[in-house]
Amino acid sequence: MSVWDGATILITGGTGSFGKRLIQELLAEGKVAKIIVFSRDELKQMEMRETFQVDFYSPLRFFLGDVRDQDRLYRAFRGVDIVIHAAALKQVPACEYNPFEAILTNIMGAKNIIDAAIDCGVPRVMGVSTDKAVNPVNLYGATKLCAEKLLIHGNFYAGAAPTRISCVRYGNVLGSRGSVIPRFRQQKEAGVLRITDERMTRFWITLSQAVRFVMRCVEIMRGEEVFIPKIPSASLLDLAKAIAPECELEVTGIRPGEKLHEILISADEARNTVEMSDMYVVRPPRRKEMWKEGKPLPDGFEYCSNTNPWQLSQEEILKVLDTI
């Protein structure tokens, strides 16, 4: 049996781009018994009800709540088999300007997820992280690093309880809410695209690929590991030229909290990381017996967007954009 067969799934931040696509996939497969959308925006929940045409027989349930509210999480987690924790404050400038809010949601929210999952006996918890958590230079990245550490080490608190917790970490999601692509397409109408630096590179993954990766990692997780997909990189300059080759480019300079290049696996982490056919798995240092089927990485390995051997050309970028 699949872990999804007859399962009750709860998705925090379920009204976001990732949550909506995940729900589409789960409903299409038709294996789960119930999907609980846990989020704090009643308007987005209402819009989702209309989009998915929710009726009495639908497996979809909507639960208003905030990950900051531990009592509400305890109520929501009863009888849940799988929690996918995607709720976060993720806009870098907003987190820089509202640091306490970012900490309360991204860090304390993760702590509340751990406590509720263990105490309610949720067997599987998968946290969704970001490349900005590796060697962070902004508050958003720092909070996601803390959230990762809390979730992974939350397994210590589980003890004999059935709860196992892991994370996935990937790069920028093409076309997601708040990503650069919708902004470039909007700027295209004015004839000028604004980029921060011509040298900047990023890891890219489509929303569908991200969802399928998370689902697969939920199926194979053992607890305490971080899963990282093998994904392509592309420069911001090539992305801009692919979207609007006829437009002028205006270089505005790197914003506070931005990097020229992102990292998915640091050189220090690489010592505890193994390579699989289509992903990397960061093992807990104290449990090196895990994932022995993986290939150890060479000394000094670093998974960085500018040195990634899989670089998308402008033509390849256009093909990917046609799929989203």
Q: How confident is the model at residue 324 (pLDDT cuts 50, 70, 90)?
A: confident
Find out whether 25 and 211 touch, Cβ atoms under 8 Å: yes
The pLDDT of residue 179 is: 78
% the chain with pLDDT above 70: 100
Residue 86 lies in a domain: yes
Residue 160 lies in a domain: yes
Q: How confident is the model at residue 23 (pLDDT cuts 50, 70, 90)?
A: very high
Report the distance separating Cα 230 and Cα 121, nearest Å: 32
Dihedral Cα 111, 114, 116, 120, nearest 10 deg: -170
Residue 277 lies in a domain: yes
- pLDDT (tens digit, 9 = 90+) per residue, 108-155? 999 999 999 999 999 999 999 999 999 999 999 999 999 999 999 999
**Can you give the pTM of this predicted structure?**
0.95
- pLDDT (tens digit, 9 = 90+) per residue, 285-321? 878 789 999 999 999 999 999 999 999 999 999 999 8
Residue 199 lies in a domain: no
Residue 95 lies in a domain: yes
pLDDT at 256 over 90: no
Find out whether 18 and 173 touch, Cβ atoms under 8 Å: yes
- How many domains would you assign to the chain? 1
pLDDT at 195 over 80: yes
Range of the domain at 291: 8-172+205-230+263-303
Q: How confident is the model at residue 277 (pLDDT cuts 50, 70, 90)?
A: very high
Long-range pairs, 180-188, Cβ under 8 A, ≥24: 180/236, 180/239, 181/239, 181/243, 181/321, 181/324, 184/239, 184/240, 184/243, 184/244, 185/243, 185/244, 187/244, 187/247, 188/243, 188/244, 188/247
Measured from the Cβ of residue 101, the count of other Cβ atoms closer than 10 Å reads 13
Residue 240 lies in a domain: no
Q: How confident is the model at residue 255 (pLDDT cuts 50, 70, 90)?
A: confident
Choose between 181 and 95: higher pLDDT. Answer: 95
Residue 216 lies in a domain: yes
Residue 138 pairs in a beta bridge with: none
Q: How confident is the model at residue 38 (pLDDT cuts 50, 70, 90)?
A: very high
Q: Which residues have a catalytic role annotated? A: 132
Closest CA relative to residue 239, chosen from 181, 172, 304, 188? 181
**What CATH number is attached to the domain comprising 141?**
3.40.50.720
Residue 229 pairs in a beta bridge with: 279
Residue 110 lies in a domain: yes
